[in-house]
Copies of this chain bind each other. A is one copy, B any other.
């Protein structure tokens, strides 16, 4: 028997960083998870922890490094990932995953949690190469028209009627891989984010797959630094309610937004010359 891939780390270290350099405070609200891999067979096989940097220490490191400021989720992740690998001989790969919760300013030192999606980043470092993946999740978008779904396969289990005007809604989960490990991460993320929204809004949709592809392509068009985009789009079905039993028409006005089941459309759009993904998407090193 053999020990296969393994990693460990501290997950969901919650961190609020307040920048109080002047009267107008800035805040950054993060959820940081660390995963480390390396020369760790002994703790699995015998319980000898000599090569183990405790997850508690990883948590402390997150807080201590925050003392010098965050910059961006990507930059903060890069600092942490490089620290763990470069300072510990037994740690050969580190992956730092971050979620940034958005806040809207209400005053010089007052804020409200805002919606419209949360920002994500995942940085992986193996001692030589650093891979940077940025993304967003929980961005719920809806088009109240401009969507149809027709011309599909009909088999003995088909009951769906073609739709020539339907509500299209999804909760966007997107991640995009950069070619390099430097950049103005905040600006790049903002540009990708805008491209995703713009493509969703601007695409007359014959399928959610088509919308997905348009969104991925839009990021590649808008951000040359990006080489690959992955999207996961749950189809949040809005069923037009049949009001005919009550003597009423329903010309696309009354919908039941159903919870389950839901369609789930996932896809990747990448540049023809995209370099191999390496460990960008997983510490396991496979895509």
Q: Which residues of A contact B (CB under 8 A)?
A: 1-20, 25, 27, 29, 33, 35, 40, 43-57, 59-61, 63-64, 66-67, 87-88, 90, 102-104, 106-107, 109-117, 139-146, 149-153, 155-160, 167, 197, 200-202, 205-210, 212-213, 217, 220, 228, 230, 234-235, 238, 241, 243, 245-246, 248, 250-272, 284, 286-287
Q: How far is the CB of A117 from chain B (nearest CB, A)?
A: 8
Contact of A116 among B20, B112, B205, B271 (CB under 8 A): B112
**With A142-B111, A261-B14, A286-B286 as contacts: A253 and B19 at CB distance below 8 Å:** yes
Give Cα distance in the complex from A251 to B20, angstroms: 9
Contacts of A149 in B (CB 8 A): 49, 54
B152 touches A53 (CB 8 A): yes
Contact of A259 among B3, B67, B145, B259 (CB under 8 A): B259
B67 touches A112 (CB 8 A): no
A269 touches B143 (CB 8 A): no
Q: Which residue of B lies closest to A103 (CB)?
A: B142
Contacts of A212 in B (CB 8 A): 6, 44
Contact of A45 among B6, B29, B213 (CB under 8 A): B213
B197 touches A106 (CB 8 A): yes
**With A261-B59, A270-B4 as contacts: A245 and B159 at CB distance below 8 Å:** yes
Contacts of A44 in B (CB 8 A): 207, 209-210, 212-213, 267
Q: Which residue of B lies closest to A149 (CB)?
A: B49
**With A44-B210, A115-B113, A153-B88 as contacts: A270 and B6 at CB distance below 8 Å:** no
Q: Would you mind naming 21 contact pairs between A and B with Cβ atoms under 8 Å apart?
A: A3-B269, A5-B268, A10-B261, A10-B264, A12-B261, A14-B257, A16-B257, A17-B253, A20-B145, A35-B266, A49-B150, A49-B152, A49-B207, A55-B264, A60-B158, A63-B254, A67-B254, A112-B116, A112-B139, A114-B114, A156-B246
Q: How far is the CB of A57 from chain B (nearest CB, A)?
A: 5
Contacts of A64 in B (CB 8 A): 157, 243, 246, 248
**With A63-B241, A151-B48, A248-B67 as contacts: A16 and B167 at CB distance below 8 Å:** yes
Contact of A8 among B40, B197, B253, B264 (CB under 8 A): B264
B284 touches A52 (CB 8 A): no
Give Cα distance in the complex from A21 to B145, angstroms: 13
Q: How far is the CB of A96 from chain B (nearest CB, A)?
A: 13
Give Cα distance in the complex from A209 to B156, angstroms: 41
Contacts of A53 in B (CB 8 A): 152-153, 155
Q: Which residue of B lies closest to A255 (CB)?
A: B16
